Structure 1
Amino acid sequence: MVIISDEQAEAVVTATSYCWKKNIVKVEEGYLKSTGMITNTRIPIVHIDTVVYSYNPKKPAIVPVLKIIGKGAVLCEMEISAEHIEPVQDWILRVMDQT
Structure 2
Amino acid sequence: MVIFTEEQPEAIVTGISYCWKKNIVKIEDGYLKSTGMITNTRIPIVHIDTVVYSYNPKKPAIVPVLKIIGKGAVLCEMEISAEHIEAVQDWILYVINPS
TM-score by length of 2: 0.92
Q: Could you tell me which of 3, 6, 14 is aligned with 2:5?
A: 3
Q: Distance in 1 between matches of 2:6 and 2:78?
A: 22
The within-5 A match list for 1:1-99 is: 1=3, 3-5=5-7, 8-98=8-98
Q: Distance in 1 between matches of 2:49 and 2:4?
A: 27
Shift of 1:82: 0.1
Query: CA RMSD, aligned part only?
Result: 1.5
Shift of 1:9: 4.9
Contact 1:48 1:70 in 2 (8 A): yes
TM-score by length of 1: 0.92
Letter in 1 for 2:5: I
